[in-house]
Structure 1
Amino acid sequence: MVGGILFSAPRDKIRSVGERAILIKRKATEWNTWNVESIAVESQGAEDDILVTDGTSIVLESDMVTGRFLEKVTLGKIKVSPLLADRTMIARPSSPLTILAGEKIQLFISTPVWFYAELLPSNKCLVDLPFWRPSDSWFGSSTIDGQLCYAKYTSAKTNLEELDLHPHRATTAIMVHNRHNKALTINRINVPVNYLNLYSDDKNQLWTSSISIKIEGESADVELIIDKHFLSEFEPQTLISRPRISSEHGKLIRRISHLFG
C-alpha cells in the first residue's frame, strides 16, 4: 500500500520545516495555497521536524496566494505525501571520488523531497513543491547532448553510520561496480531519483530504491539497475510513493557521460 497522510480539511492546514511552510486553505469553491519561505539555504532549519498544524498562527496577505484551484464544490479530504524530485539529481561530492579498477563501492547520497498534496477521491494534484528547491543544472557531454537536472553538493558517504539523516531528505544507496581496468574518478553523479520508489523505515527516515551501476570495459554505455531488495541494515517498512517515471524492467541503459562527470 502506498503511504501518505490523509486528513479532512474543514480548516486551514500547514506543513512546515523550520521557517519554511506550505499552507492549504479550503473555501467553498476553491483551494488556496501559500509557499512561505523565509530562509533560502538548506543548512538552516535542517534539523527541524516536519510539523503538521492548523493555520491559525500565520497571518497571510491575500496577495501572497501562490495558487488558486477552482472546483464547483470542494470536498474535505486531501492526501499528503512526500515525493522524490521530478528530474534527475546531480550530486557533487565535496571532493572527487576515485574508485580503483576492479573495485565495488557503495555510496549514500541524500536528496531533498517534494511536498505532494492531492484531492480525494479525484486524485487531482493540488500542490507539488520541494521543501527546499535545488538549483537547475545541465548534465551531459555538450550543450546539445544532455539533460536539465537539479544539482546539490553532498559528502557522498560510504558508511551507513556516517549518514546525516533529515526528515525532508531521502537517502539513496548506490553500488558502483568498476569492472574497467582503469580507475574511475567521480566529480559528479547523476542520480535518477524520478525513477525510484520512496520508502520509510520504522524511525520515519526516508529511503529510495537502491541502485547498482556497472561499468564494463571500454563501452560508452552503462547498465543501471534499480534494485527491488534492500540491504538488511536499511529495513524500510512502508512504501510511501511510487516513481514519477516507471521503468518496467528496473533497468536503465545510460551513456557514461550522462551518469558521471
Structure 2
Amino acid sequence: MACFHDINLGALLDHYWYEIQLGDLFFFIMKKGDAYWSTNAYQGAIEPPMKQPLKLINALPNGMEVKEKIYLREDADTPLVSLQLADKPYQVNPAAEVKIEPKSRLVLYVSTPLWLQFKSGDGKVLVEYPTVVPRLSWVGTNTTEGSLCYSTKTSAPSIFSEVKHYKHRALTALELINDGDKLLTIDRLSLPLNILGLYYTANSGYWTESVRYRINPDTGDTTVVSAQRPPEELGDVTIIAKARTANKTSRFRTAMNLIMG
C-alpha cells in the first residue's frame, strides 16, 4: 500500500510544479531556490477519492493562482509533506442507530479524513489542508454550552474484516460499553482526534489509538479513555504524527461532556 506521509522534497527540481492528489484535494508545490510556492483545489464531493502520489506536472491548471510563498533559511533542512489528524474533534454519526444491551460491549470502526501538511525539516507545520472539506457542526447541550467540531457520517462496521481502508482517512476502533441496566442507543459520538496520534501499517493504512467509551444510560455518567496504540490485530505499527494537543485529561473531559450532544 503506497503511503503519503514523510515525503522528502529534496529531489524537487527548481521552477517545476509538482502535484499530489489525495481524497478530494489537489495540492501543488514548486521549489524556487530556498522558497516553496504552493496552492490547492478540491474536486466535487461526489467524485471517487483520489490517491495519486507526488508527481511532476507541466504547469498549474488554468485559472489557478499561488496561495502561499514560503521562504526557508539557506541552511534549513529539507521540508516534508506528511499527514495529520484533524485539528478539532469529530462528531461521528453512524449511518444507522447503534443499540447495545445492558452490561454488554461493542466495537465499532469509524474513519475520518486526514490533513495534508507541508512541514519544515524540523517539523514545523507551514501549510496544511484537509483532504476532504470538513462540515462544521456545533455539539453541546445548548447554543452556549458546547464546542465547534467537524461532522461526518460513517458506516461504522463492527467486524474487523469488513473495515475499508482509504489512503486519505484514518480508522479508529471505538469500544462502547453499556454500564447500565437500560438499552443504550447511540446515534452520534464525539471523537477527540486532536488528542490522538496517527499510526501507519503497510497492510492496513492509517489508524489512531483505540478509544473506549463507558456509558451508563441510567445516570448519564460517561468516561472516555484512549488506549496506548491501535488494535492489536494490526500487528506492528509506526507512529506518523503525535497528537496535536498534549493535555488529554481536559480534552477527554470535554469529550465526555459532549458525547451525547
Question: Which TM-score band (shorter chain)?
Answer: 0.7 to 0.9
Relative to structure 1, the CA distance from residue 72 to residue 233 in structure 2 (aligned partners, 3 Å threshold; closer, same or farther) is closer
Written as runs of structure 1 = structure 2, the 5 A alignment for 1:136-147 is 136-147=136-147
Q: Which residue of 1 aligns with 2:235?
A: 235
Are 1:220 and 1:256, in contact at CA under 8 Å, matched by a contact in 2? Answer: no
Written as runs of structure 1 = structure 2, the 5 A alignment for 1:135-214 is 135-203=135-203, 205-214=205-214
1:49 aligns with 2:47: no
How many residue pairs end up in the alignment? 254
TM-score, normalised to structure 1, is 0.86
1:84 aligns with 2:85: yes
Identity %: 24
Aligned AA (1:150): Y
Aligned AA (1:198): L
CA displacement at 1:34 relative to structure 2: 0.9
Relative to structure 1, the CA distance from residue 92 to residue 217 in structure 2 (aligned partners, 3 Å threshold; closer, same or farther) is closer
Structure 2: segments with no counterpart, 5+ residues: none
TM-score, normalised to structure 2, is 0.86
Aligned AA (1:109): V
> How far, CA to CA, are the matches of 1:75 and 1:55 in structure 2?
26
> How far, CA to CA, are the matches of 1:197 and 1:68 in structure 2?
29
CA displacement at 1:74 relative to structure 2: 8.3
Alpha-carbon displacement from aligned partner over 1:56-96 (angstroms, at most 9, x marks no partner): 354455x6222233456585721221100000011111121
Are 2:116 and 2:128, in contact at CA under 8 Å, matched by a contact in 1? Answer: yes
Are 2:24 and 2:132, in contact at CA under 8 Å, matched by a contact in 1? Answer: no
Are 1:222 and 1:253, in contact at CA under 8 Å, matched by a contact in 2? Answer: no
Aligned AA (2:214): K
Q: Which residue of 2 aligns with 1:23?
A: 28
Structure 1: segments with no counterpart, 5+ residues: none
Q: For 1:49, what is the secondary structure of its paired residue?
A: strand
Relative to structure 1, the CA distance from residue 94 to residue 216 in structure 2 (aligned partners, 3 Å threshold; closer, same or farther) is closer
1:40 aligns with 2:41: no
Relative to structure 1, the CA distance from residue 179 to residue 204 in structure 2 (aligned partners, 3 Å threshold; closer, same or farther) is closer
Range moving further from structure 2, 147-156 or 23-32: 23-32
Are 2:7 and 2:82, in contact at CA under 8 Å, matched by a contact in 1? Answer: yes
